[in-house]
Structures are given as structure tokens and as C-alpha cells.
Chains A and B, each alone.
Chain A
Amino acid sequence: MLIELIDVFISGLTNGSVYALMAVGLTLVYGVSKAFNFAYGSFFSMGGYLAWLLLVGLGLMGGYVIIFIIAIPVLLAVGYGVERAIVAPLRKRSDWEVKVMMITLGLALLLDNAYQVGFGARMKSLPTMVEGAMIMGDVVLSYQDMVIFVLSIGGIVCFRWILNNTRIGMAVRAVAQNPAGAQIVGIPKDVIFGATFAISTVMVGVGGILLSQKYFVSPTGGWDILVKSWVITAFGGMGSIRGSLYAAFILGMLEAFVGWIFGMTWVLFAMFGVLLIILAVRPQGLLGKWG
């Protein structure tokens, strides 16, 4: 019983860390540019398929290190390109927030169908990143989970550090707090919008690689991720990075324990239940601010 509890806890911690990485990416774009990206889940699948294509499809040697070296620039370019091509032109129009939702929703459908045509409808599994486990008595801690946890948390820590300590990070925060003020001091806000979208694409794409090698990739697998990232972001407070972090671990744990006790079908049900309760008590989310 205790051992099982520990296993469930570890699973919650690992998934929570990846959810945190992905929710931070979603909230970053929302916080900086007020755009809501519905294609977020499809970028998750893109990460998974990219890894599958390189590792299995092309049979590339060098393992996951090479995958990350190739995938990160590709995801950056895709994110930046998508922002410039379909999001930026809408920004000058009225009701652009709704239009951005519509166009990214369209992109999501397009991408998911493209995956289905290109890779087939069946799930694809990836080779595991690292084999083996650390065994402490009855507790088994797989290296895979440890790597996932370390990479996700490392990614978030890196991101936080860049945001708080570098000139470009300061520029990103400036645009988030006051776009007109940022423009006045000479920050090119359109470039910052593009860059944050690109970084968020990397975060969710890397999340896709990390989780896909634990589970699998499928053409519509991103929707679950979109919903979860959205729930975490709303739960933590739209635009609050720290809020997303807490919310990701709370919901990661919730998922693990609800899945263990009641079965996986109840996970989303429980997540939305908790979200409803928190929003009834605190409509701005855990750490969100009004407006």
C-alpha cells in the first residue's frame, strides 16, 4: 500500500513537472501578448512526431541529445513563423483575441489532420530515453522519470533566470506589463511577441518529446494536453508563471491519485471539478490578478 502510494506520488511529480513546463509556456504567451493559442496541443504532438521521425523514421543515431539539438531550433522556427504569419496580422484588427483563437483552432485541426495523413492514425511509440532504475528497497525510481523531472524543472528554472536576469527577459516582462511603455523606450514589441510564441512552442514541443517517450504519440493526442494546460493556467491565474507552477503540481498529483483510485477516465472530470471550485472561490485563479 505504502509502496503503491509512493509510486503514484512519483508519477504525479513527473507528470506535474512536464505540465508545469507546458503551462508556463501557455501562460507566457497569454501574459505577454494576451493571445490564446488553441494550437498549443498540436505543437505538443509536433514534438512527439519530430522525435519519432528522427529516431524511428530516419533511424538517427545519437539518441535524445541529438533529438533535442535538432528539435529545439525547429520548434523555435515553427513558433516564430506561425506567430508572424497568422497571429501578428490579426493584432491590428478589432476583436483580435477571438480571431486569434479561431485561427489557431483552425491551425490545430490542420496540423492534426496532417499528422494523420503523414504518420497514420495509429499510435506511435518511441524508444525510452534512458533504461534502468534506481532501486531503494521496494521503491523503484526509474531513470526515465528522473530525467523527465530534471529536464522539465531545469527548463523552467532556466527560463525564470533568463526572464529575471537578462536584458531580453526584462524586455519580455516590460511588454507584458505595458506594451506602449515598452515601445516608447525602444523595445520592438512585435519581435517580443514572436519570440515569446516561439519559446512557448519549444516548451510544449519538448514536453511532447518527454511525455511521448513515456506514453505514445497520436494525431489527436494534443487535445488532452491543450485542455490540461488550459485548466492549469486558469487554475494558477492567467498570466502568472508562479501560479502555473503550483497549479501544475497540484493537478499532476490530482491526476495521479484520481487515476489510481478511480481510474483514468475520471481524471479530467476531477480536474474540471477542482477548477470550478477554485474559480468559484477565487475567480482570478490562485495567483492571478484582475485585468
Chain B
Amino acid sequence: MLTVTNLDAYYGQFHVLKNVSIDVREGEVAVMLGPNGHGKSTLLKAICGLAERVAGTIKYEGREITGMPAEKLVNQGVIYIAENRELFPHMTVLENLKLGAYSKNARQHEKRNLEKVFRLFPRLAERRRQLASTMSGGEARMLAIARGLMSNADFLCVDEPSLGLQPNLRIEVFNIIQEVNRQGKTILLVEQNIPQITEMADKLYVLEEGRITFQGDRSEALSNDHLKEIFLGM
């Protein structure tokens, strides 16, 4: 569904991604692990048209999307879901969700998607009139995911959804992401060393110093001692 081939990305003077290639198939949850500052988020941003400078090719469903700006990409079916920095703080939950359906393809499905999202996140339905800035960390994370779903995109790039959350909320967020995946969305997830993460991954990648240093399915990851020790904390 999404193929990245020989991708290089730069952040100012820094050469952040070096010759990165990944391949995510429809219906999968692909997880990208790696230490902080080694380029995981940059990779997601490069795919989603938010990086400064990229070279290489990114193809989505056979169409080349390299360097396509984020506002056009969402219409192609790829959406970036950030921790919670990209919400609209002085707007209500409902306004945030409605704006999630701003793109042309999403607009016609707005009503249906809103019902779906409220079923998935009953708490957001209760708090639809609350300002996004007054929500707790966990709720804001839910809202970020919910807003992403409003875009009607089939491919979700989720950037560290567990960052800064306490363990029980992390599990809640992961459960939601798995549920979303079961409902038919393909997911590329960037995460840190969270033990639970392997359970939900169909495929794992490790990104270190801008290069892919491991790729494989769940069982391969679990049998790799280096990976187990460093990233999965087992």
C-alpha cells in the first residue's frame, strides 16, 4: 500500500534519514522503533509531506506522493496523527473533529465518520463542547486520533501516541489503535521502547542513526536478542 524507496531527508544542515526503504501492506500495523532523535518522526513527516527536504521515492497505492504537501496528501488517503501538538487549542472537541473532515473526500462522509468516532470514543461525545486546550493528556491524544479518523484516510501515520502518558492510558490508546486497525485502517506507528508494542505489530522496523537496522515480523523481532534487549525491554 505504501512503499518508501531509498529515502533521504534533511533537517536544516542535518542529514537525518539515509537510504531508508520500507513497505507497508494493506491492513497491516507496521511499527517503527528506535531511539529518540534518530529520525523516526522525520520519516513519518517525510511521508506526510511535512518534512523540509526529501530525496527518494514514496509511493502510495502505486501513485508517487514524494514531496506532496500535507494539505493535498490527506485527499489521497494518508493522514498524519501527532501526539497532540497539532490540535486547535481554542476550539471545541466538535470543531476539531469537524475540521478533521475538511478535505474534499472527507466532507461527504462527515456525518457517518462523526458517529463512528463518537462510538469509538464515548468520552469525546460527552465532551464535545469542551475546549481542546482544557483536556487532559490522554483525552487530547484520543482527540488527535479521532480527528485523524475524521479525514476518512485509509492510511494512518501515528507519531508516538503513548508519549508522556501513564501506563494504563498507554494501553487504552494502543487498544484503540488496534480497534481502528480491525475496522480496516492501515497503520504506520512510530513508538519508543514499549513492551506491549510487539503484540500489535504485524511488522517491525528499527531506525538507528537514520538507517533501518532491523526489519521483520513479530516472531523475528522476538527472537532477535539485540532488539529484545534494547528496545523491547525484555
Could you tell me which A residues sit within 8 Å of B by CB distance?
167, 170-171, 173-174, 177-178, 180-189
Question: Beyond A173-B88, A189-B71: 15 further Cβ-contacts under 8 Å?
Answer: A170-B91, A170-B95, A171-B99, A173-B91, A177-B90, A177-B91, A178-B85, A180-B50, A181-B82, A181-B87, A185-B74, A185-B99, A185-B100, A186-B102, A187-B99
**In the complex, how many angstroms separate the beta carbon of B87 from the nearest chain A beta carbon?**
6
Q: Provide the residues of chain B in CB contact with A174, threshold 8 Å.
A: 88, 91, 99, 102
B212 at interface by CB-CB < 8 Å:
no
With beta carbons under 8 angstroms apart, the residue of A173, A177, A178, A185 that contacts B102 is A185
Contact check, B88 vs A178: say whether CB atoms are below 8 A apart: yes
4 closest residue pairs by CB, A with B: A186-B103, A181-B86, A186-B74, A183-B70
Contact check, A184 vs B48: say whether CB atoms are below 8 A apart: yes
Contact check, B87 vs A188: say whether CB atoms are below 8 A apart: no
B21 at interface by CB-CB < 8 Å:
no
Contact check, A178 vs B71: say whether CB atoms are below 8 A apart: no
Contact residues of B between 38 and 92, Cβ < 8 Å to A? 48, 50, 69-72, 74-75, 79-80, 82, 85-91
**30 A-B residue pairings within 8 Å (CB atoms):** A170-B95, A170-B98, A170-B99, A171-B99, A173-B88, A173-B91, A174-B99, A174-B102, A177-B89, A177-B91, A178-B85, A178-B88, A178-B89, A181-B85, A181-B86, A183-B50, A184-B74, A184-B82, A184-B86, A185-B99, A185-B103, A186-B71, A186-B72, A186-B104, A186-B106, A186-B151, A187-B71, A187-B99, A187-B102, A189-B71
Report B96-112 CB contacts with A as 1/0, cut-off 8 Å.
Answer: 00111111101000000
Report B21-47 CB contacts with A as 1/0, cut-off 8 Å.
Answer: 000000000000000000000000000
Bound state CA distance, A65 and B157, in angstroms?
Answer: 52
Bound state CA distance, A184 and B72, in angstroms?
Answer: 9
Contact check, B74 vs A178: say whether CB atoms are below 8 A apart: no
Contacts known (A170-B98, A171-B102, A189-B71); A184 close to B91, Cβ less than 8 A: no
Contacts known (A170-B99, A171-B99); A188 close to B88, Cβ less than 8 A: no
Q: Provide the residues of chain A in CB contact with B89, threshold 8 Å.
A: 177-178
By size class, the interface of chain B is 20 to 34
Bound state CA distance, A108 and B48, in angstroms?
Answer: 39
Contact check, A181 vs B88: say whether CB atoms are below 8 A apart: yes
Contact check, B86 vs A180: say whether CB atoms are below 8 A apart: yes
Q: Provide the residues of chain B in CB contact with A182, threshold 8 Å.
A: 71, 88, 99
B141 at interface by CB-CB < 8 Å:
no
Q: Provide the residues of chain A in CB contact with B104, threshold 8 Å.
A: 186
**In the complex, how many angstroms separate the beta carbon of A95 from the nearest chain B beta carbon?**
15
B185 at interface by CB-CB < 8 Å:
no
B147 at interface by CB-CB < 8 Å:
yes
Contact check, B75 vs A186: say whether CB atoms are below 8 A apart: yes
Bound state CA distance, A181 and B151, in angstroms?
Answer: 13
Q: Provide the residues of chain B in CB contact with A171, threshold 8 Å.
A: 99, 102
Q: Which residue of B lies closest to A180 (CB)?
A: B86
Bound state CA distance, A170 and B71, in angstroms?
Answer: 16
Contact check, B87 vs A185: say whether CB atoms are below 8 A apart: no
